[in-house]
Amino acid sequence: MTTQTIANVTLTTQANVYFDGKCVSHGFTLDDGTKKSVGVVLPATLTFNTGAAEIMECVGGHCEYKLAGSDEWKKSGSGEKFSIPANSSFEIRVTESYHYICHYA
Protein backbone atom coordinates (compact mmCIF):
# COMPACT_ATOMS: atom_id res chain seq x y z
CA MET A 1 0.00 0.00 0.00
CA THR A 2 1.30 3.43 -0.93
CA THR A 3 1.77 5.97 1.86
CA GLN A 4 -0.68 8.84 1.26
CA THR A 5 -0.05 11.10 4.28
CA ILE A 6 2.36 11.36 7.19
CA ALA A 7 1.08 13.04 10.35
CA ASN A 8 2.87 14.80 13.20
CA VAL A 9 6.12 15.78 11.51
CA THR A 10 8.63 18.59 11.77
CA LEU A 11 9.43 19.64 8.21
CA THR A 12 12.64 21.27 7.01
CA THR A 13 11.41 23.98 4.66
CA GLN A 14 14.73 24.46 2.86
CA ALA A 15 14.75 22.05 -0.08
CA ASN A 16 17.63 19.73 -0.86
CA VAL A 17 18.33 20.27 -4.56
CA TYR A 18 20.58 17.77 -6.34
CA PHE A 19 21.86 17.38 -9.89
CA ASP A 20 20.90 20.87 -11.09
CA GLY A 21 17.30 20.44 -9.92
CA LYS A 22 16.72 16.94 -11.30
CA CYS A 23 16.07 15.75 -7.72
CA VAL A 24 14.42 17.91 -5.06
CA SER A 25 13.53 16.69 -1.57
CA HIS A 26 12.50 17.93 1.87
CA GLY A 27 13.63 16.29 5.09
CA PHE A 28 11.33 15.77 8.01
CA THR A 29 11.40 14.22 11.47
CA LEU A 30 8.62 12.18 13.06
CA ASP A 31 7.59 12.72 16.69
CA ASP A 32 9.68 9.67 17.70
CA GLY A 33 12.84 11.19 16.14
CA THR A 34 12.81 9.06 12.97
CA LYS A 35 14.20 11.01 9.99
CA LYS A 36 12.86 10.69 6.44
CA SER A 37 12.69 12.71 3.27
CA VAL A 38 10.13 13.11 0.53
CA GLY A 39 10.87 14.27 -2.98
CA VAL A 40 10.75 13.93 -6.71
CA VAL A 41 13.25 12.86 -9.35
CA LEU A 42 12.69 14.34 -12.80
CA PRO A 43 13.64 12.50 -16.01
CA ALA A 44 17.35 11.64 -15.82
CA THR A 45 19.84 8.92 -14.98
CA LEU A 46 21.55 9.76 -11.68
CA THR A 47 23.92 8.14 -9.18
CA PHE A 48 23.32 8.59 -5.45
CA ASN A 49 25.65 7.67 -2.59
CA THR A 50 24.30 6.55 0.77
CA GLY A 51 25.61 7.10 4.27
CA ALA A 52 22.83 5.36 6.19
CA ALA A 53 20.89 2.45 4.74
CA GLU A 54 17.82 3.63 2.85
CA ILE A 55 14.47 2.28 1.73
CA MET A 56 13.02 4.08 -1.26
CA GLU A 57 9.22 3.96 -1.38
CA CYS A 58 7.59 4.97 -4.66
CA VAL A 59 4.44 7.03 -4.10
CA GLY A 60 3.98 8.08 -7.72
CA GLY A 61 5.46 7.34 -11.12
CA HIS A 62 8.11 4.68 -11.60
CA CYS A 63 11.85 4.23 -11.99
CA GLU A 64 14.52 1.70 -12.78
CA TYR A 65 17.40 1.29 -10.35
CA LYS A 66 20.70 -0.54 -10.19
CA LEU A 67 22.50 -1.17 -6.91
CA ALA A 68 26.29 -0.83 -6.60
CA GLY A 69 28.04 -4.00 -7.74
CA SER A 70 25.09 -5.15 -9.87
CA ASP A 71 24.63 -5.04 -13.63
CA GLU A 72 20.87 -5.60 -13.37
CA TRP A 73 18.36 -2.77 -13.71
CA LYS A 74 15.19 -3.42 -11.70
CA LYS A 75 11.84 -1.63 -11.86
CA SER A 76 9.99 0.06 -9.01
CA GLY A 77 6.52 1.58 -9.33
CA SER A 78 3.85 3.10 -7.16
CA GLY A 79 3.47 1.20 -3.89
CA GLU A 80 6.80 -0.62 -4.30
CA LYS A 81 10.01 -0.23 -2.31
CA PHE A 82 13.68 -1.04 -2.74
CA SER A 83 16.54 -1.05 -0.24
CA ILE A 84 20.05 0.35 -0.50
CA PRO A 85 22.76 -0.64 2.00
CA ALA A 86 24.66 1.92 4.08
CA ASN A 87 27.84 3.36 2.60
CA SER A 88 26.92 2.27 -0.90
CA SER A 89 25.42 3.77 -4.04
CA PHE A 90 22.71 3.23 -6.60
CA GLU A 91 21.83 4.47 -10.04
CA ILE A 92 18.29 5.57 -10.79
CA ARG A 93 16.79 5.98 -14.25
CA VAL A 94 13.58 8.00 -14.56
CA THR A 95 11.60 8.73 -17.74
CA GLU A 96 8.65 10.47 -16.02
CA SER A 97 8.50 12.08 -12.57
CA TYR A 98 9.28 9.63 -9.76
CA HIS A 99 7.82 10.65 -6.38
CA TYR A 100 9.30 8.99 -3.31
CA ILE A 101 9.67 8.75 0.43
CA CYS A 102 13.17 7.89 1.61
CA HIS A 103 13.12 5.94 4.87
CA TYR A 104 16.52 6.03 6.57
CA ALA A 105 17.30 2.76 8.32
Question: What domains can you pick out in the chain, each with its CATH number?
Answer: 11-104 (2.60.120.10)
pTM check: above 0.85: yes
The CA radius of gyration of the chain, in Å to the nearest whole number, is 13
Q: What is the pLDDT along the chain (105 residues), one digit of tens a residue?
A: 788 899 999 999 999 999 999 999 999 999 999 999 999 999 999 999 999 999 999 999 999 999 999 999 999 999 999 999 999 999 999 999 999 999 998
CB 93 within 8 A of CB 61: no
Helix, strand and coil percent figures for the chain, each rounded to 5: 5, 60, 40
